[in-house]
């Protein structure tokens, strides 16, 4: 099982220097091929606990800042071949237009990425390091390929990616290729109606596409299409049938619930209208938020409810009060048995997915941050006011923000909540878990 790491970035950011630095760390250089063309160098490198194939995409004539079609092709080819992309920028120049183009290319490939801000050895690199967050490729590592700084962290990050792939492969037959299909799971306590709801979803689809569509009902994930949008639905019913065959208890275990949550991008938490928001329901909601998934709450068996208007208002109030970590989450009433409300539920699922994937521009975030801090300044423990200088969205799925802060440890949790609530309102991010990380700024 080989693992390929491609070093990618615009010309002159230091790819070859890093390649040589990593290759120099090898314990055994197994093979050093010049590659098929002179555009790509490959070598097998032994890093701490693993052996990886390292690919360098350097060697292209740069044509100054412009991005030639050929350069793009080469990078695309290297990325396609890679298990992990090591994306480099030059921290001294900051994020350039060419970096953004490469960044988009890497992001759209959907491969794991380690972002590194190279040439970070001096103070001139600080601003560029902060800017690197705005690429939306996660948190950058500050490194200096030339001076050998931060190389250990790069090796660790590669090691983690190798491990993560091992785990993914052992689950491969369940998850298949993680394509653009939205992955959906329905979870909830026993007897709330999960199987009935999943059957309703799959059943309607069967009527639309006919039997020849080949829906494999035994698979753990079933494919359906909802209003032209392909979905993979984690089929709890399938799980249960399997459990029955194997003579296990029929209820879903915590492990199964967690598995369903991890499989999914959007999770529908199904409640029983007659016993909503029980302790176990709240625990599952918490798990979904912790795992960073988009959430929709569906209250099932609505056919059994009288005084519906009033009951709905009560449920909405409970939802806001009991689940502040996913403020604004959609609550939809359904009757899985008759299929009533399923349409609205699926609209809510698609909307939640959109929020979950949202990316906000850095300048808008910083305009907002300035105003939020002015309106309600952070505290000044021991006489010095905490300053929050800059923020950016480091990641989507779920929305993840990073802010740079003096005395980050001293900023109270309540202030972070104030910022998160403000972000939610201003940028319309209802119902998704929001991650907000503080970093020590200068
Ligand atoms: P590539 O085109 O991306 O492969 O970039 P190279 O590896 O050829 O490096 C471009 C230039 O940046 C060379 O002059 C390197 O010496 C220099 N360079 C590479 N890494 C660093 C670094 O960590 N700090 C500084 N200051 N310069 C670096
Ligand atoms: P699961 O354990 O969550 O998968 O729940 P099931 O789908 O097996 O449903 C549990 C029970 O609730 C079954 O008896 C269903 O017929 C019943 N049920 C499911 N959906 C509805 C509904 O919309 N209305 C009513 N009245 N009963 C339902």
Half-sphere exposure of 3 (CA within 13 A, CB side): 22
Whether the complex's predicted ipTM is more than 0.85 is answered with no
Instruction: Give the DSSP H/E element, type plus range, for residue 23.
Output: helix 15-24
In this prediction, residues 327-350 reach a mean pLDDT of 96
Is pLDDT above 80 for 416? yes
Is the Cβ atom of 145 under 6 angstroms away from ligand 1?
Answer: yes
Is the Cβ atom of 39 under 6 angstroms away from ligand 1?
Answer: no
User: Relative to the CA of 196, which ligand 2 atom is closest?
Assistant: 7
Instruction: For residue range 360-375, list pLDDT tens digits in order.
Output: 988 899 999 999 999 9
The residue behind tokens 């701490």 is 48
In this prediction, residues 183-202 reach a mean pLDDT of 89
What pLDDT, on a 0 to 100 scale, did the predictor assign at position 164?
80
The residue behind tokens 């492969």 is 169
- Residue with CA at minimum distance from ligand 1 atom 18: 14
| CA-closest candidate to residue 286, choices 353, 187, 220, 355 | 187
Q: Please, which contacts does 356-361 make with residues 24 or more away whose CB atoms are closer than 8 Å?
A: 356/265, 356/266, 356/293, 356/294, 356/396, 356/397, 356/398, 356/399, 356/432, 357/396, 357/397, 358/396, 358/399, 358/427, 358/429, 359/136, 359/393, 359/396, 360/393, 360/399, 360/427
Gyration radius of the chain's alpha carbons:
25
Which residues neighbour 312 within 8 Å (Cβ) at sequence distance 6 or greater?
333
C-alpha torsion angle, residues 201, 203, 209, 215 (rounded to 10): 90
- Residue with CA at minimum distance from ligand 1 atom 12: 14
φ, ψ at 247 (rounded to 5°): 75, 20
What pLDDT, on a 0 to 100 scale, did the predictor assign at position 205?
47
Instruction: For residue range 202-218, list pLDDT tens digits in order.
Output: 875 443 333 333 333 33
- Residue 4 DSSP code: E
Token couple for 232 = 């993979």
The residue behind tokens 């409640």 is 271
Which residue ranges form the domains of the chain, and what is each CATH number?
Answer: 3-170 (3.40.50.300), 182-357 (3.40.50.300), 362-440 (3.30.300.20)
Span from the CA of 295 to the centroid of ligand 2 (angstroms): 21
Sign of CA dihedral 110, 114, 119, 124: positive
DSSP letters spanning 385-423: ---EEEEEEEETTTTEEEEEETTGGGS-HHHHHHHHHHH
Span from the CA of 88 to the centroid of ligand 1 (angstroms): 11
Instruction: For residue range 13-64, list pLDDT tens digits in order.
Output: 999 889 988 887 543 333 344 333 344 578 888 877 678 998 887 555 445 4
Instruction: For residue range 239-264, list pLDDT tens digits in order.
Output: 555 555 555 554 556 777 888 898 89
Span from the CA of 225 to the centroid of ligand 1 (angstroms): 49
Among the residues of 58-192, which ranges form H helices?
A: 69-81, 97-109, 126-132, 151-170, 172-175
Checking phi first, is residue 265 left (phi over 0); if not, alpha (psi -120 to 50) or beta? alpha
The larger pLDDT score, comparing residue 253 to residue 310, is at 310
The rounded distance, in Å, linking the Cα atoms of 361 and 365 is 6
Q: Could you say which ligand is closest to the alpha carbon of residue 192?
A: 2
Give the confidence band of 65 by pLDDT, cuts at 50, 70, 90.
very low
DSSP letters spanning 213-230: G---TTSSEEEEEETTEE
In this prediction, residues 146-166 reach a mean pLDDT of 87
Span from the CA of 193 to the centroid of ligand 2 (angstroms): 4
Count of Cβ atoms closer than 10 Å to residue 279 Cβ:
8
Find out whether 299 and 334 touch, Cβ atoms under 8 Å: yes
The larger pLDDT score, comparing residue 73 to residue 171, is at 73
Is the Cβ atom of 128 under 6 angstroms away from ligand 1?
Answer: no
Is pLDDT above 60 for 174? no
């Amino acid at each position: 099982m080989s693992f390929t790491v491609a070093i990618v970035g615009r010309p002159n950011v230091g790819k070859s220097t890093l390649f040589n630095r990593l290759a120099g760390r090898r314990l055994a250089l197994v093979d050093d091929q010049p590659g098929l063309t002179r555009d790509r160098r490959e070598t097998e490198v032994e890093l701490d606990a693993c052996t990886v194939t390292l690919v360098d995409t350097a060697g292209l004539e740069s044509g100054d800042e412009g991005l030639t079609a050929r350069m793009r092709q080469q990078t695309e080819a290297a990325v396609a071949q890679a298990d992990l992309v090591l994306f480099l920028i030059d921290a001294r120049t900051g994020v350039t237009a060419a970096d953004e183009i490469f960044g988009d290319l890497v992001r759209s490939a959907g491969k794991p990425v380690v972002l590194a801000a190279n040439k970070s050895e001096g103070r001139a690199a600080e601003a560029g390091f902060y800017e690197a967050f705005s690429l939306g490729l996660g948190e950058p590592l500050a490194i200096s390929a030339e001076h050998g700084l931060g190389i250990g962290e790069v090796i660790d990050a590669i090691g983690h990616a190798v491990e993560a792939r091992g785990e993914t492969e052992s689950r491969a037959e369940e998850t298949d290729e993680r394509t653009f299909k939205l992955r959906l799971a329905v979870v909830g306590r026993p007897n709330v109606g999960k199987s009935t709801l999943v059957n309703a979803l799959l059943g309607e689809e069967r009527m639309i596409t006919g039997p020849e569509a080949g829906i494999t009902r035994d698979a753990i994930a079933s494919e359906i299409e909802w209003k032209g949008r392909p979905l993979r639905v984690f089929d709890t019913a399938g799980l249960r049938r399997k459990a029955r065959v194997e003579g296990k208890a029929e209820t879903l275990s915590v492990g199964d619930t967690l598995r369903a949550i991890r499989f999914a991008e959007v999770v529908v938490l199904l409640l029983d209208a007659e016993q909503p928001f029980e302790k176990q329901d709240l625990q599952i909601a918490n798990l979904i938020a912790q795992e960073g998934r988009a959430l929709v709450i569906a209250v099932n068996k609505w056919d059994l409810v009288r005084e519906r208007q009033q009951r709905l208002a009560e449920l909405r109030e409970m939802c806001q009060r009991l689940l502040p970590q996913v403020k604004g989450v959609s609550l939809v009433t359904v009757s899985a048995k008759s299929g009533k409300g399923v349409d609205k539920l699926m609209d809510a699922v698609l909307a939640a997915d959109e929020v979950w994937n949202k990316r906000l521009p850095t300048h808008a975030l910083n305009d907002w941050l300035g105003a939020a801090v002015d309106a309600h300044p952070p505290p000044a423990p021991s006489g010095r006011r905490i300053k929050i200088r800059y923020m950016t969205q480091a990641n989507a799925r779920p929305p993840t923000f990073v802010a740079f802060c003096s005395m980050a440890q001293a900023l109270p949790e309540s202030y972070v909540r104030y910022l998160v609530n403000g972000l939610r309102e201003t940028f319309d991010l209802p119902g998704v878990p929001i991650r907000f990380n503080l970093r020590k700024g200068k």
